[in-house]
Amino acid sequence: MSLSGQKREGLGEDIEEAEEAFIDLEDPDVDILDESALPVAESSDDDDDEERGPDTAAGDASGNPQENEEAQQEAEMEDLNAAPDHEPERDDAFATFEAPEKKPLHTIAVSPQDPTIFAAAGEGEDIYVLRVEDKTTEPVLTATLKGHKDTVSLLSFSPDGYWLASGSLDSTIGIWSVGFWNRVYWFTDLYGEIMTLLWHPSSRILAAGADDTQAAMWNVDKGTLAMYFVGHRGAVTCTVWSPQTKKLITGSSDGSVSIFDPKTGEQEVHISKDLSPDKAGVTALQFVNDDQCVVGCEDGTLHVISLRSAKAVSHLEELHAQAIESLAMSENSLLLLTASCDTRVIVWNVADFTPRTILEVGESVIPAVWLKPYFVAAGCSDGEVRVWDGRSSEQQPLSVLMGHRRMVLSLATTRSVLASASDDGTAKFFRFTSTYV
């Protein structure tokens, strides 16, 4: 369509370089694969787990004390959805958007090319496009994008800022043109909840994973399915490109990580050994250098896999007790951030994977991000956003940003604005530059 033609103009060398580094979908030798023709990947060392399955299920009946203790701990975990509203002492936001009927907002994203454009979505099924200027007192609702039939849990702008991708519990992925705000493509090739969205740096390719155990990849210029990736036996929960974008790495609720060749769809490596000792599901992936990727799991354990050796090579100290919800590198690539509903945010030294500081937040944390080079922001279950200096061991936050009544589910940041989406049905926008500089 005409928009695709417009977006390619002026990109010249960048696109050619990205294509050279990745995959030429114009190549007639690259076929769109029929899912039924794909081979079933070998299960490697996971087979023993299936054999142990019935014994594990019978644990409580046999009076296994360890399993009874684990069941009790699980029952005692805070039900964040049932938590009461918190009445904030004040509202620190300079602008607030309220969703219709105050339906919970699960995700918020900001354009990488225009820091005034935000998108927010959640249980209302619609996507709200907001413009927030520096002098804004209220966000301007510029578009409402309709089409999904269930909760929109994921939003992601393409790196070049021309597309917005949305993922929903209704098994669909929408591709929307930025500026025109019309739906350009509707991908229905996966089944079940869309768990992860991942743009290729060229903005021509979108990958996604779902709870049907598969990942897929599309050519966004053409709107066509380019590849399926199969081999997991649980939901594909997280995805990341290798640093040179030659490989697609996927994490799954089956407790494994796979490395795929995006040109062929071949599962080159399947890693499950030496990750979580309980085969806990993988929740997050983050490369820390050209070779090593940190893997976060549902039981709070963190592991390091190597692309070159194709195995787990190291483990971080077991300091989290619940699922790793956030995993992010600092701007200078020296520090790693992890956050969990266990009420801890931890900053690690990347050089040797030792903990630099352990922040005892006192509230469950789902989203945590880096602000500027070394400030850490965490969205908490009491509706507050707390900010620390990630280099310091000081427990007292530099700032506590109030305004939400319920837990914060998503954060997005520009150089001067921190945006949050909450279960209370609002998106709030905070200024932070003057607070720390």
Tell me the per-residue pLDDT of 349-405, one tens digit each, with 9 for 90 and over: 999 999 999 999 999 999 999 998 899 999 999 999 999 999 999 999 999 999 999
Let me know the angle formed at the C-alpha of 422 by 419 and 427, rounded to the nearest 5 degrees.
Answer: 40
pLDDT score of 82: 63
| Torsion sign over Cα 323, 109, 383, 98 | negative
What's the pLDDT at 83? 66
Residue with the larger pLDDT of the pair 281 and 69: 281
Tallying the residues shown for the chain, one arrives at 437
Q: What is the pLDDT of residue 133?
A: 87
Q: Which three-class secondary structure state does DSSP give residue 396?
A: coil
Mean pLDDT for 42-68 is 42
Asked whether 411 and 377 are in contact (CB, 8 A), the reply is yes
Question: Which pLDDT score is estimated for 77?
Answer: 52
Q: Please tell me the number of Cα atoms within 13 Å of 343 on its side-chain side.
A: 9
Selected residue with higher pLDDT from 64 and 87: 87
**pLDDT classification of 168: cutoffs 50, 70, 90:** very high
81-117 pLDDT, tens digit per residue, is 666 788 899 999 999 999 999 999 999 999 999 999 9
pLDDT tens digits for 316-335? Answer: 999 999 999 999 999 999 99
> pLDDT (tens digit, 9 = 90+) per residue, 202-220?
999 999 999 999 999 999 9
pLDDT of residue 336: 98
CATH 2.130.10.10 is right for the domain spanning 331-436: yes
- Whether residue 436 is predicted with pLDDT greater than 80 in this model: the reply is no
Percent of the chain at pLDDT > 70 equals 80
Q: Residue 215: exposed, middle, or buried by beta-carbon count in 10 A (0-12, 13-18, 19+)? A: buried
